[in-house]
Amino acid sequence: QVQLVESGGGLVQAGGSLRLACTASGRTFSQYTMAWFRQAPGKEREFVAGVSRIDGTTSYADSVKGRVTMFRDNAKDTLYLQMNSLKPEDTALYYCAARPGMAVMRSRYNYDAWGQGTQITVSS
């Protein structure tokens, strides 16, 4: 099982930017399709972005499309999420997730490994 550790969260004003990182260990990072999810208080955990292990194809939720870029560095076993033009509604606990399958899936139940999460708080 791969182990995941997120970092990079924090408090930012609306319109600001943050870059999240997810560092993997324990298994070959390149063999996993990766994704970011988020969960706000009282809400379900929702898909944010994902990247396939096969060809690096990315997929984004409509709520973040155009403001977020996800990329992976297999040489560093690290996944990144660059978030720009942040909004108060982006406030949530952000999780990194991994699955051995080829395709990016938008349901949390398709992912086998999870990090502990990193908090993003966007003030208005």
| pLDDT band with cut points at 50, 70 and 90 for residue 34 | very high
pLDDT, residue 60, reads 98
**pLDDT at position 27 over 90:** no
What percent of the chain stands above pLDDT 70? 100
Which residue carries 């988020």 as its tokens? 38
List pLDDT tens digits, range 52-70: 998 889 999 999 999 999 9
Distance CA 52, CA 17 (A): 24
Strands 113-114 and 78-83 come out as unpaired
pLDDT, residue 26, reads 87
